[in-house]
Amino acid sequence: MKSWIAGADSVETDFTIHNIPLGLFSRGSHDERPCPGTRLGDTVVDLSILAASGLLDKLVSAPTREALTTGADSLAPVADLPVLDRRQLRLALQSVFSQDKIPDGFPQNALVDVNAVQMLLPFRIGDYTDFCISVEHMKNAGRQVAGDARIPPQMPYMPIGYHGRASSVIVSGTPFKRPWGLYKLAPSDPEPVCAPTARLDYEVEMAFYVSSNTKLGRRLNSRESEEAIFGVVLMNDWSARDIQSYEMMPLGPFQGKNFATTVSPWVISPDALKPFEIPLPERLVPELAYLQDERVNRALDINLSVEVQTGNESQVIAGNINAKDFYWSMPQLLVHQTMSGCNVSTGDLIATGTCSGTTPNTLGSIVEVTEGGRKPWQLPSGKERTFIEDGDTVIMRGRCSKDGIHLGFGECSGLVLSADPI
């Protein structure tokens, strides 16, 4: 398919006609009315204006048009639509934008340059769950923490996760301040210090938004879980390694993780990602019955990269991380979370945990790249880094390409500001 939108056919863009992501934006500032939109090339399309124009009347259902024009400050009305209506909306938008020329009656004021919009979080996130489903990341982390590369014994039987906090999830491009916390300057120190973290790290992750409201006690099966995935984003789950290591026993991470989590603004639909599905990695043990479903338990062949910018310098630290290495599928994460009867809500965010491979170009965190800070990496000028410093911007990207179809996620970026004095 081709598009009449300028730049949407470029091999350089993430936002081709094969993508059709959804996002929430305002025109210039957070104070203006949020609008549901999609993006092709460098053009953002205001879907509320398009739906009101009548061009979609014969292409999508009345509830879909109402969801787009309701004026809500989140994508929840769209996410709450039945999965068939959401699929119909994507196909309708592809039809409108893949014609030979701009359709008659198309509202020109629905088209906005991407540089003239302010991207917003697409949902008021009620709950956030973070899993850890990369075997190699577990091995690498084990080497750094305990000198032992064995994975936890329960990992092959179930996805390992914990419930985090949603209050400090921020959209790409939002700066944040270096966090304070308690940690020991040296393991042998008798007491901790209270200071800004000296070991700020990123984590290359993916995440998805839920599009289902379930009642307490109801379990989702594999097929229901697949349909309850609204869409996928990139995530940087920032970590303060020194604070995290001091506080995490016996209850797990707290202030070492709760200060910021950055997500990319454009939500990529499961249908757009279908061409890039591949079999999951070989099972280490037979899957338990509640996690078995070959129809939906599929990995995604998505190449991920991370770049650090500081001043006028930039360097790609890891350029060949791949989501196909995740041991569990996204539907399996939702199946497992609801197995206990845990209820979920539209807009809940569920993350994969750090994605890592076995080589330096496939490591998803600085603590792995530098072996716990013992082996610095160099910027082009020769400056060395062991962890992320004030003024650094970390940019993550994700891209898929197969049989002439390509799409991507855009940037997931965050700038680190200096800590406030106490």
Which of 137, 163, 336, 406 is an active site residue? 137
Which tokens belong to 315? 């360097």
Backbone phi, psi, residue 66, to 5°:
-65, -40
163 noted as active-site residue: no
Contact by Cβ (8 Å): 207, 265: no
Helical H runs in 103-176? 135-146
Q: Is 28 exposed, middle or buried (0-12, 13-18, 19+ CB in 10 A)?
A: exposed
- What SS3 state is found at 195? strand
One-character DSSP codes across 118-135 = EEE-SS----EEEEE-BH
Helical H runs in 311-365? 330-338
Residue located via tokens 């965050």: 414
Q: Is 40 exposed, middle or buried (0-12, 13-18, 19+ CB in 10 A)?
A: buried
Residue located via tokens 């769950």: 129
Helix%, strand%, coil% for the chain, nearest 5: 20, 30, 50
Instruction: Report the sign of the C-alpha dihedral through residues 201, 204, 209, 210, in that order.
Output: negative
d(CA 325, CA 302): 10
| Cα dihedral: 98, 99, 101, 106 (round 10) | -90
> What are the catalytic residues?
137
